[in-house]
Amino acid sequence: MADTEKIVDVINRSRRELPMHQDISMEEIETSLFKDNHFDAKDSCRLAVIRDQIVGCGIVFAEKSRIKAGKNDADITIEVVPEHRNKGIQQALMSSALEFLRSMKMHDAKHLCADTIGWKHDLSLESGFREDHHEYTLICRVGKEPGASLPPDGIHLEHMMFKDASDEDILDFTEVNNDFYSESLNFAPELVESWIEYRDELKKNVERITFAKEESKIVGAFSCEEWTELNKQEDVKAGYISTLGVVKPYRKKGIGRALLSDAVKWLRERGMDVMYLRVDARNPDALRLYTSGGFEIFKESVAYYLAME
C-alpha cells in the first residue's frame, strides 16, 4: 500500500502513551497486512483523513492459519492519534471495520485492548463487544528469580539461534507449539510457513529456540529474545519469552520450570535487566509456573469479542 509508512506512523503515535510500547516497523506491518492476512490489504485497512493527513486507521486482520483451520474470526485494530480522538473518528473506523466483516460473512470479531481502561475499552463496549478474557504481561527483574532449576533425569536441553534454525527445526518447533497450545480456547494450529517467513525476515533479531528432549523426542520448547526495538527506543535492557510449553504427557515433571529457568539464565547472560512474557489469565497452571519462577504481574489487557451473527 502506498500509505504504509503513514499508517505505521499513526499506529505508533496512537500507542506511545502505553507502558512498554514498542514501535512497530514497516517490515512488521507489511508482514501482517500483506502476508499473514487472509484479506487483501486494500480491503482490510480503512483510513481517517483530515486535510490530506492520515489521523486514524482501522485494520481488519484474519490470520491465514486460523482460516485454513476452519475458524471464521478476525481481529480489529483501531488507532487514532491523540489530538483527533473523541471526534467520532474511532467510532466511524470501528463501524466500517464491522461492516466489512459482515460483508465477508465472518462470524466473530475480536478487539484486544492494552491495560484495563481507556478510549479503546469505551469503543469496544459502545460497539457491542463483550469482555471475553484477560491477558497478563509478567515481568521478572534481575535478582528476583529463584535459583536455577535443572531438567529431570532423562531430559536434556538443546539450543539454537532462531536465525540459524533449519526448515526441519522450524517444523519441529511449530509442531510442538501446536501440541501444547492445542487445549487453549478457540485454538487454531499455526502454519510452519509463517514461522519460516518469520525466521527469514527477522534475522537481525537476537532470538534463541530451546528444545527439551527425551533422547531424540521433543517434549517441550521455548523461544526467547532480546527485545531489540524496545531496548533501542527506551534505552533499557529487556528480554522477552515469546513461547514456552511442555507436551501433555510430560507436564508436572519439572520440565516447564527448567525451561523457564534456562530462558531467564540466557537472557541474564545477554545482559538483560528485566524479562517479560505474556500469559492468558484463563491458564492458572502457567500463571503459577511463572510467578513461582520470579515473575509478577506488570500489566493487564482485556480481550473483547463480538458475535457477528
Stated as kind and residue range, the H or E segment containing 4 is: helix 4-15
Pairing of strands 73-80, 108-113: parallel
Say if residue 139's pLDDT is above 90: yes
> Which grid cell sits at 94?
470501528
Distances (CA, A) of 134 to 79, 95, 179, 252, 304: 20, 24, 23, 25, 9
Average pLDDT of span 121-143? 94
Query: Cα(264)–Cα(250) distance, rounded to whole angstroms?
Result: 21
Average pLDDT of span 33-52? 90
Say if residue 199's pLDDT is above 90: no
Nearest alpha-carbon partner for 45 in 83, 14, 1: 1
145 backbone dihedrals φ, ψ, rounded to 5°: -80, 150
Query: Which residues have a Cβ under 8 Å from the Cβ of 123 and sit 6 or more positions away?
Result: 78, 90, 91, 94, 111
- Annotated domain spans of the chain: 4-128, 139-300
Give, as one character, the DSSP assignment of residue 253: S
Q: Give me the residue label for grid cell 463483550.
A: 130
> Highest mean pLDDT range out of 204-213, 221-230, 295-304?
295-304
Q: What is the CATH number of domain 4-128?
A: 3.40.630.30
CA 303 to chain CA centroid, Å, is 13
Quick one: pLDDT at residue 198? 82
Give, as one character, the DSSP assignment of residue 55: E
User: Which residues partner with 113 through β-bridges?
Assistant: 302
Whole-prediction pTM: 0.87
4-128 shares its CATH topology with 139-300? yes
Quick one: pLDDT at residue 273? 92
Q: What is the pLDDT of residues 86-97, one digit of tens each?
A: 999 999 999 999
Say if residue 203's pLDDT is above 70: no
Query: Which residues have a Cβ under 8 Å from the Cβ of 154 and sit 6 or more positions away?
Result: 214
Burial (Cβ within 10 Å: 0-12, 13-18, ≥19) of residue 284: exposed
Q: Give me the residue label for grid cell 504504509.
A: 4
Q: What is the CATH number of domain 139-300?
A: 3.40.630.30
